[in-house]
Amino acid sequence: MNTPPLVSVIIPVHNGERYVVEAVESVLAQGYPRLEVVVIDDGSTDRTAALVQGFGTPVRYHHQPQGGVSSALNRGIGLAEGSLFAFLDADDVWSPSKLALQLPVLEAQPEVEAVFGGMEHFFSPELDQASREKLSCPEGVIPAQLKATVLIRRESFHRVGLFDTRLRRGDFIDWHARAREVNLRSVMIPQLVMRRRIHASNKTIVETATKSDYLRIVRGALLRRRQSAAAAGPDGTPGLPPEPPAPPAAIT
């Protein structure tokens, strides 16, 4: 019998004591026998370290001076030992069947490099009714090409490259744009694989707090497109990369 692949789950966290335990528990609850959780503490000053270290094996805790989410993600990737990568923000959770739904797709289809899945929003329990009325929490499961919904082969991730550490937010928007440019072969399953928490601190709208980062992403995509067109020759072969990505409604 073949040994199941090791799945490395990278969780970046900064001052995440309120939610990080639930995030890690949702990964450990997958019931998959070959799993490592790599938590990168990006300069937390709260109880994050003690809470994460309390899990013991198979959770690996690493601290670094605060450098931003992309820096934390990249360090986690450098430490990861698995042949498959997955990600989770410290304030969100996976559905209990995420890996059980996505692993068979990669096993049955060697040509597929990455599997995405459905996402739903939920109000964090500590929010009172008045706070909930000020926030948007769309209902239902929607297809989501997000960091926390993907399961990707290690070599495929590196074919796209690491996250851009110049970006404070929008790390996965930029990464996914580059993935499209190299024709990453991905599929979307309709089932729920991840739940995004709506709480008082994650209501940042791209137009207000991430405009400069999004402009950097778009400019980078346009530059790569022009460079590809120039290298392709007058007949336009090979094909141009996709158009720059559209901004999401919100980023947490």
Please list the pLDDT of the chain residue by residue as tens digits (252 residues). 689 999 999 999 999 999 999 999 999 999 999 999 999 999 999 999 999 999 999 899 999 999 999 999 999 999 999 999 999 999 999 999 999 999 999 999 999 999 999 999 999 999 999 999 889 899 999 999 999 999 999 999 999 999 999 988 789 999 999 999 999 999 999 999 999 999 987 644 334 445 555 455 555 555 566 665 556 555 555 544 555 555 444 433
Please state the φ and ψ torsions of residue 199, each to the nearest 5 degrees: -140, 180
- Give the C-alpha separation, 142 to 168, whole Å: 26
Q: Are 84 and 9 in contact (CB under 8 A)?
A: no
- Give the C-alpha separation, 137 to 117, whole Å: 19
pLDDT score for 29: 98
Type of residue at 170:
G
Residues 6+ apart with CB under 8 A from 56: none
Q: What burial letters (b/e) apply to 228-244, b meaning 16+ CB within 10 Å?
A: eeeeeeeeeeeeebeeb
Chain centroid to CA 212:
21
**Hey, how many other C-beta atoms are within 10 angstroms of the C-beta on 66?**
13
pLDDT score for 94: 98
Type of residue at 36:
E
Type of residue at 109:
Q
What's the token pair of residue 214?
A: 């999004």
**pTM, whole model, 2 decimals?**
0.83
Give first-to-last CA distance, the chain, whole Å: 41
pLDDT score for 208: 42
pLDDT score for 248: 47
- Give the C-alpha separation, 168 to 180, whole Å: 21
pLDDT score for 209: 41
Domains of the chain and CATH, by start: 7-204 (3.90.550.10)
pLDDT score for 15: 98
pLDDT score for 36: 98
